[in-house]
Structure 1
Amino acid sequence: MESKWFIRIFALVIAILLYLSVSVDQRGSNYSAGSNNFSTTVEDVPVEAYYDQDNFVVTGLPETADVHLEGNSSIVQITKSLRDFTVYVDLTNAPIGIQKAELKVKNISDKLKVRIDPAVVTVNVQEKVTKEFSVEPEFNKNALEEGYTAEEPLVEPGKVSVTGGKDVIDQIAYVRAVVNADAPVNETFTRKADVLVLDKNMNKLDVIVEPNQVSVTVPVASPSKTVPVVIKQTGSPKEGIIIKSIEPSIREVILYGKKKVLDETPSIEIPIDVSNIERDTKINIPIKLREGITAASPETITVHISVEKEETKEISNIPIRYNGLAKGYGLSFVQPVGGETSLTVKGPAHVLKDLQADDFELFIDVNGLTEGRHEVDIQVEGPEDVKWELVLKTAIIQIAKT
């Protein structure tokens, strides 16, 4: 308040000095009393509107007007310096609708000629309406880094109150919050965004929005790829232990990361060391991520390992066949006599139970051997899920011409 009075007193002093200066100039120039008139323009004077603001809204009113002053130079200068007059429009009893209204001025000396520009304005008086609208978030997905995707943005608060003339409220087609972000975007972000109220032609409407800003969160997801889980057994089980099965709890995982790296990743390998496994076991194994892969879902895999005790079975009288004997020659076994031998087979009990001699093929390769006695290795072919050991690893044969 003291500052305001100081400014007014200071302006009054300046105006008096200007008046004395003008008076001296006039006496020096022999101006007549009739030539003491002076005119000036006070620009950008705020325009006030008087109306029932609780129930009506007025649009079309200019924010400021220019006031042209003419009269005694000292009064003109003081009025211009103080600027303590008011430009207003009285719409207290104005009807609803578009109409002409006269701008007026008050708190100004009646000794001055006053002209307001504009003198008349076109205003629209409308019933005041407040309506709630949902805010539609908008985000330019071109700002995303290659391969990244944006989910539906989240707005807080999700609704705003819009106040304006009834005819303007009826024109509302979109209430949007446009969020901007510097490219390239590769993570979830939150920004403040102005709320825009638009008509069907995307023109901004003159309304009051509460709140006029909302918080927009854009969830950004990195590129992803679903790949199969591949179990890789490492190490050897202890003597007498058979790994019956290794089963992951899931068959696929979702990987997230750079698109190029994902394209080069056909599967996810889970190494399982069985060297210390002695009984049925369940292991939780974290998924190891290569460079360029940022996350996996799930992050760990449960692996079930089933084991069996290894048993032994002797299978006898398995015939030894031979391959590659040249025409015109005969072959006889010196050892083993009769061309039969035995195998010691190790494996799961349920597999050994049904094994017979005809499940194995024993043979020797005599290709290129000539007449005479030879010692050759005995080779075995048999089921994959068992191990075996020959009682006799080599055979002694006699080849003779027939």
Structure 2
Amino acid sequence: MDKWLSHNNVAKVIALIVSIILWAMVHLDSGTPVAPTPVVNTKVIPNVKIQVVGFDSDNYVLAGLETDKVRLEVRGKRTDITTNFSDYKVKLDLSDVEPGTSSQPLTHELPPGVQLVSMSPSIVKVTIEAKQSKDVTVNIVTKGQPAQGMQLGSPVVSGSGVVRVTLPESELVELGRVQGVVDINGIAEPIKGKSVKLVAYDKQGREMKNARIVPSSVDVDIPITKLYKNVPLEIREVGQLPDGLVVSSVESDVNGVAIYGSKEVIDGISSYSVFVDLSQFKGTNQTRYTVDLTPPEGSEKIEPSSVTITVKVEPPGEKQINNIPITLKQDNQQLTATILEPAENKISLQVLGAQEVLDKLKPEDIKITADLSGLGPGTHMVPVEITLPLHVGLAESDNSRQISVEIVENVEPAQTEPEVQPDSNSANDEDAVVSPSENVEGDNNGETNVGG
């Protein structure tokens, strides 16, 4: 054994074993852990949203962006590569980019300890367009129908009703209107100060989502009232004034009234009548009546509820009205009528009434008509119908007037023979034919004037 121990190689092996044992004893006693070898991983982060920074959105619009997402490939320790994708950021800085189309680089931000392997794409094409503004008047429309019996007024926008619309230059020329919608379905009371959101539409009626509207909403009032109709007030006179008085004027403090009710009812009303009984006149020259107004059948209300009628009277005056034309009323087109008496086809009348009324009276204000219906050819005495203006009467006690009228049948046009052209040998012959038209007298049109 001594021989084996004295061998050099054996001694070296023994020395190595002892060294390893001593080393292990030292490190086990110190408690120092042995560092493991680090493990590096790679990971792909897809669809990382590009964040645009430094862009002047007040004056420009990002009209085009080649892509808004990128693909990242990163590497690092397993503990550093997180699964929270919000820690991985890609940014596009447009702070110094002018309007137009250009390619811009992308930058990235990664979690600590993580390195970028690749980014696809790393450059993107962008298009920037300048904005322009335009002042537009707001249009407010209503949706639905108000409650039964209510009438909708026109919407009223507070302030100037004008807003400023900002759009890319290429889109601003297509701007059609700025509109707000108010739902009025079933409402029975006015709407006050309702905030209405505004939307811009192009000329084809499509919403322009890129539009910036300032202000974006407006306050609107929607007036609503009961359904009504304004109709004229008609004053009808009944009864007779005391002898020796005539009406100078009858006036009301209103010209018309408002009648409330359903559409079917008020559509059938064209006027409203009040009656004044002249036999109840009590004043010497003027009397005021207060007349209560009753809503027409089927209606709900009338405004005003009463009116004041003023009647003015005075002793009558007289005036002769000359040259009043006579109108013939005839239904037979085969007959022609001529007035024989009066020869001038006009009548004079002595009328009476208030002096103020007589001073304004003209011949054309009086209508005199003779009805020839049913009368045949011959001479006839025909009574005339006299229609006088309100508050004017005849001074004569006998209102009957007659005129003399001659009625004849219309003459058929004469039948003429064709004119015979003489030959050259008989131009001076005393038997040459003469056209009958050369011996016929009449007016240019073959018409007969009635009544001279």
TM-score, normalization: structure 2?
0.46
Using the alignment, how far apart are the partners of 2:236 and 2:120 within structure 1?
88
Q: Which amino acid aligns with 1:179?
A: V
Using the alignment, how far apart are the partners of 2:273 and 2:157 within structure 1?
41
Compute the displacement of 1:161 (Å): 1.7
Hey, what does 1:89 align to over in structure 2?
Answer: 92
Does residue 158 (structure 1) correspond to residue 161 (structure 2)? The answer is: yes
Distance 1:247 1:158, change over 3 A: closer
Residue identity over aligned pairs, in percent, reads 21
User: Following superposition of structure 1 onto structure 2, how do residues 120-135 of structure 1 map, counting pairs within 5 Å?
Assistant: 122-135=125-138
| Per-residue CA distance 1:349-394 (angstroms, 9 max, x = gap) | x9xxxxxxxxxxxxxxxxxxxxxxxxxxxxxxxxxx9xxxxxxxxx
Q: Secondary structure of 1:260's match? A: helix
Hey, what does 2:309 align to over in structure 1?
Answer: 303
Q: Please tell me whether the aligned partners of residues 58 and 165 of structure 1 are also in contact (alpha carbons under 8 angstroms).
A: no
Q: Secondary structure of 1:198's match? A: strand
Give the one of 211, 222, 242 matched to 2:215: 211
Q: Which amino acid aligns with 2:178?
A: R
Hey, what does 1:268 align to over in structure 2?
Answer: 272
Compute the displacement of 1:178 (Å): 2.9
Compute the displacement of 1:258 (Å): 1.5
Using the alignment, how far apart are the partners of 1:116 and 1:153 within structure 2?
57
Does residue 139 (structure 1) correspond to residue 142 (structure 2)? The answer is: yes
User: Following superposition of structure 1 onto structure 2, how do residues 2-401 of structure 1 map, counting pairs within 5 Å?
Assistant: 34=39, 37=41, 39=43, 47-53=51-57, 55-60=59-64, 65=69, 70-71=74-75, 72-77=77-82, 80=84, 83=86, 86-106=89-109, 108-109=111-112, 111-113=114-116, 122-140=125-143, 143=145, 152-156=154-158, 157-169=160-172, 171-184=173-186, 188-189=190-191, 191-203=194-206, 204-219=208-223, 223-230=227-234, 247-250=251-254, 252-265=256-269, 267-270=271-274, 278-279=282-283, 280-283=286-289, 287-289=293-295, 292-294=299-301, 296=303, 301-306=307-312
Of the structure 1 ranges 249-258 and 192-201, higher mean CA displacement relative to structure 2 is found in 249-258
Q: Please tell me whether the aligned partners of residues 67 and 114 of structure 1 are also in contact (alpha carbons under 8 angstroms).
A: no
Compute the displacement of 1:206 (Å): 0.8
Q: Please tell me whether the aligned partners of residues 76 and 112 of structure 1 are also in contact (alpha carbons under 8 angstroms).
A: no
What is the RMSD computed on CA atoms of the aligned residues?
5.0
**Structure 1, unaligned runs of 5 or more:** 1-30, 310-349, 351-384, 386-402
Distance 1:292 1:135, change over 3 A: same
Hey, what does 1:27 align to over in structure 2?
Answer: none
Q: Please tell me whether the aligned partners of residues 199 and 205 of structure 1 are also in contact (alpha carbons under 8 angstroms).
A: no
Larger Rg over CA atoms? 2
Q: Which amino acid aligns with 1:282?
A: R
Q: Which amino acid aligns with 2:136?
A: F
Q: Please tell me whether the aligned partners of residues 248 and 304 of structure 1 are also in contact (alpha carbons under 8 angstroms).
A: yes
Using the alignment, how far apart are the partners of 1:94 and 1:243 within structure 2?
93
Distance 1:161 1:63, change over 3 A: farther
Q: Secondary structure of 1:132's match? A: strand
Using the alignment, how far apart are the partners of 2:308 and 2:106 within structure 1?
81
Q: Please tell me whether the aligned partners of residues 177 and 195 of structure 1 are also in contact (alpha carbons under 8 angstroms).
A: yes
Q: Please tell me whether the aligned partners of residues 227 and 266 of structure 1 are also in contact (alpha carbons under 8 angstroms).
A: yes
Distance 1:122 1:227, change over 3 A: same
Compute the displacement of 1:89 (Å): 0.8
Compute the displacement of 1:126 (Å): 1.8
Compute the displacement of 1:259 (Å): 0.8
Q: Please tell me whether the aligned partners of residues 104 and 123 of structure 2 are also in contact (alpha carbons under 8 angstroms).
A: yes
Q: Secondary structure of 2:80's match? A: helix
Distance 1:43 1:53, change over 3 A: same
| Per-residue CA distance 1:204-260 (angstroms, 9 max, x = gap) | 1413221111233445566544445355789999x99x9968643455434343112
Distance 1:87 1:263, change over 3 A: same
Q: Secondary structure of 1:167's match? A: helix
Using the alignment, how far apart are the partners of 1:118 and 1:152 within structure 2?
56
Using the alignment, how far apart are the partners of 1:116 and 1:148 within structure 2?
67
Q: Please tell me whether the aligned partners of residues 65 and 126 of structure 2 are also in contact (alpha carbons under 8 angstroms).
A: yes
Q: Which amino acid aligns with 1:139?
A: T
TM-score, normalization: structure 1?
0.50
Compute the displacement of 1:125 (Å): 0.9
**Structure 2, unaligned runs of 5 or more:** 1-35, 316-353, 355-392, 394-452
Compute the displacement of 1:283 (Å): 4.7
Compute the displacement of 1:90 (Å): 1.4
Q: Which amino acid aligns with 1:80?
A: N
Using the alignment, how far apart are the partners of 1:285 and 1:40 within structure 2?
94
